[in-house]
Amino acid sequence: MDKIRMTTPLVEMDGDEMTRVIWQWIKEILIEPYVDLKTEYYDLGLERRNETDDRVTVESAEAALKYGVAVKCATITPNAARVKEYNLKEMWKSPNGTIRAIMDGTVFRAPILVKGIEPYIPTWKAPITIARHAYGDVYKNTEAKVPAGGRAELVITDAEGNETRQLIHDFKDSPGIVQGIHNLDASIKSFARCAFRYALDTKQTLWFASKDTISKTYDHRFKDIWAEIYENEFKTQFEEAGIEYFYTLIDDAVARVVRSEGGFIWACKNYDGDVMSDMLATAFGSLAMMTSVLVSPTGAYEYEAAHGTVQRHYYKHLKGEETSTNSVATIYAWTGAFRKRGELDGLPELCAFADRLERACVKTIEDGVMTGDLYLLSKLENKRKVSTRTFLEEIRARM
């Protein structure tokens, strides 16, 4: 059999620990026998980031913007323990944060559904994709305690030095607390464009919500910017694609999500996305079955698994013990990237390969062959727990 040819390389971002081991095995067992794999390789493993003073991360993100499609392995975000463990020159920043900042992108997370692992909400028939605005609000706040008798004011000084003042609260009788938050029109616009583009791309209806009835200037600005961008840039394309843009209040959105059948994209403000993405991930079953894609407003894509490097399994692996680590989300990062590359380059065989590999993953689990994390959750009667490597071989047999 001839291998499937690629024309443009994928930007390959290798990573750390157990996911780095799985990365090699996925390529060896499931990809290289079938695809004449072309990648531009960046090693984002912590050692290489340390050697290059983290330049490799920046270069990989620039390559993602240049070529348009990247696939990333999970990476360690250093903390004090990692600085010691890897003898680091510095506590390097989160690679995902660096890449997101360079691509000015929004992260979309979607669960992979399989029979036997049912969502906690029985009406959910299709995945709900969640996107979180990753700039500002409470995550870049300034806050203070105010003593009794103090006054807090909001002061804005314009470019000419003119001040406008608004009273926040007069703390006459009781001490209290105060918080200042901000956001930028430019960031809200990028967020909206990423979400509209991804909705068109995946042909799914898009929801967005805020608390504009209470926050008549701040949240209302989000609502207005989204409405303006939809009207001016996306409305016609949405109508042609037969999808909708739906705006509502955040509490109404939460209620409707629970009653829904799924199958749409839910864009959230920063805090709502932080909270709701954990709720959705848990309700759909397993973090190891959650995919993630970073979409830039210019239409560049970086695919990855939502989980981390699975450190605990890696230490077992290093000791020569058998592991049962779930590779599905990492495989879907590859298939997402192949499908997108195939669409951009007009290579239907590459898209078909991605579909076939995904179907083989689902079939393997639905046949009862699964890793330990799913074994604990699956309601199938004939289920069998297999090792990390056997799981990949079982997928290959079905492909």
Given the rule CB under 6 A, which residues bind ligand NAP? 74-77, 96, 287-288, 304, 307-312, 325-326, 371, 373
Give the Cα separation of 65 and 47 in Å (integer). 24
Give the Cα separation of 163 and 127 in Å (integer). 49
Nearer CB in complex with ligand NAP: 91/275: 91
| CB 138 to Mg ion: min, Å | 12
Nearer CB in complex with ligand NAP: 296/326: 326
Give the Cα separation of 304 and 308 in Å (integer). 10
Which one-letter DSSP state was computed for residue 136? Answer: S
- Per the rule left: phi > 0, alpha: psi between -120 and 50, beta: everything else, 280 is alpha
The Cβ of residue 239 has, within 10 Å, a number of other Cβ atoms equal to 10
Nearer CB in complex with ligand NAP: 69/331: 331
Q: Which residue's CB atom is positioned nearest to ligand NAP? A: 308
Q: Residue 301 is encoded by which pair of tokens?
A: 């894509």
- Is 95 in contact with 241 (CB distance < 8 Å)? no
| CB 229 to ligand NAP: min, Å | 28
| CB 399 to Mg ion: min, Å | 35
Length of the chain as a residue count: 399
Q: Residue 326 is encoded by which pair of tokens?
A: 């779930």
Nearer CB in complex with ligand NAP: 197/307: 307
| CB 100 to Mg ion: min, Å | 16
Give the Cα separation of 333 and 125 in Å (integer). 22
Contacted by 312, from Mg ion, ligand NAP, none: CB < 5 to 8 Å by type: ligand NAP
Give the Cα separation of 263 and 204 in Å (integer). 7
Q: Which residue's CB atom is positioned nearest to Mg ion? A: 274
Q: Which of 273, 282, 215 is nearest to 249 (CA)?
A: 215
Contacted by 325, from ligand NAP, Mg ion, none: CB < 5 to 8 Å by type: ligand NAP
Nearer CB in complex with ligand NAP: 75/291: 75
Nearer CB in complex with ligand NAP: 47/231: 47
| CB 42 to ligand NAP: min, Å | 14
The Cβ of residue 336 has, within 10 Å, a number of other Cβ atoms equal to 22
| CB 18 to ligand NAP: min, Å | 8
| CB 325 to ligand NAP: min, Å | 4
Give the Cα separation of 358 and 364 in Å (integer). 10
Angle at the Cα of 10 (from 52 to 189), degrees rounded to 5? 85
Contacted by 310, from Mg ion, ligand NAP, none: CB < 5 to 8 Å by type: ligand NAP
Q: Residue 186 is encoded by which pair of tokens?
A: 């430019």
| CB 78 to ligand NAP: min, Å | 8
| CB 110 to Mg ion: min, Å | 16
Contacted by 278, from Mg ion, ligand NAP, none: CB < 5 to 8 Å by type: Mg ion
Nearer CB in complex with Mg ion: 307/340: 307
- DSSP H helices in 150-217: 185-202
Give the Cα separation of 257 and 338 in Å (integer). 31
Contacted by 274, from ligand NAP, Mg ion, none: CB < 5 to 8 Å by type: Mg ion
Nearer CB in complex with ligand NAP: 82/398: 82
Q: What residues line the site for Mg ion (CB under 5 A)? A: 274, 278
Contacted by 128, from Mg ion, ligand NAP, none: CB < 5 to 8 Å by type: none
- Is 324 in contact with 372 (CB distance < 8 Å)? yes
Task: Please give the torsion angle defined by the CA atoms of residues 30, 35, 39 and 45, in that order, rounded to the nearest 10 degrees.
Answer: 10
Contacted by 349, from ligand NAP, Mg ion, none: CB < 5 to 8 Å by type: none
Nearer CB in complex with Mg ion: 291/364: 291
